Structure 1
């Protein structure tokens, strides 16, 4: 099991830039702490900094070892359009990445969050105004993990790393 955080963190963010900064910092923290698994959930990841060099480098450092990344989305179209560097990284690390589509839920019911279970959470509560929280309180992390597991149960395989052609 991942080591519990050493100190309580609860911080609000209220802009797109602050949200992206929180996500960048979360990937860096996961690489530093060696989180066993990461969960990402959003409707389309259009506003995430997934394609940035620093994020992909942090993911590469994180991915060494026995890791698991679960990516839940309403659609993966925006990832392909906006995050080419991440798409390439995903091809190289496909053996640890599970991409799943949440097709049954309307976009307003899809939670938007980044989670390292037992360690750290970035949750976008108001996607219109980019308001949300960064936290590591145990109860909130457990609740977020349960929510994402529910989304996983509703999801289907999507976004293959390699497409087979004739």
Structure 2
């Protein structure tokens, strides 16, 4: 029996999407205290897929936290209505933040579940990415996210109050 690799490079859109689906499923099964998602707009993520939302629902508990960092949330509303509904239902677990002014290429694209899995997209044009269970990769990813988080503001409220 061979051990699962701890770090694997990805080179296609389908591999990247499959790695994200597997990461969501993995955290639902293994559990972890927090998940970090970061992308410019999440337009090309499988966030709205039934399996992804089901995995997030299995993972979500009152003591857990999902932090979502984006430049804007316009594409999420249009492309991922199931995820938007999940966000409404689990607003006490989900924190959405935006970094509106960002230099091109400065916004990392990644899924981080510390201690479980890291999926990072390095080249969105050619879908060069990696999936890793190594602690060192998680530490580097968290450091990159902290830089973005420090300059971000709360965004994308779960509900919009109207008159």
TM above 0.5: yes
Unaligned runs of 5+ in 2: none
**In the alignment, which of 131, 143, 148 is matched to residue 140 of structure 2?**
143
Give the whole-Å Cα distance in 1 for the aligned partners of 2:116 and 2:4. Answer: 10
The corresponding residue for 2:14 is: 17
1:157 and 1:84 map into 2 onto residues whose CA distance is 20
Q: 1:40 aligns with which of 37, 40, 46?
A: 37
Q: List runs of 5+ in structure 1 lacking aligned partners.
A: 1-5
Work out whether residues 31 and 58 of structure 1, in 8 Å CA contact, stay in contact via their aligned partners in 2. yes
* Root mean square deviation, CA, Å: 1.3
**Which residue is equivalent to 1:3?**
none
Measure how far apart 1:106 and its partner are: 2.3
Q: Give the 4+ runs in structure 1 shifted more than 6 A.
A: none
Q: TM-score, normalised by structure 2?
A: 0.95
Q: Does 1:123 align with 2:142?
A: no
Work out which of the residue numbers 47, 54, 57 in structure 1 matches 2:54: 57
Aligned residues: 161
Correspondence 1:108 to 2:105: yes
Q: 1:32-59, CA deviations, whole angstroms, 9 ceiling, x for partnerless residues? A: 1111100000000011000000000000
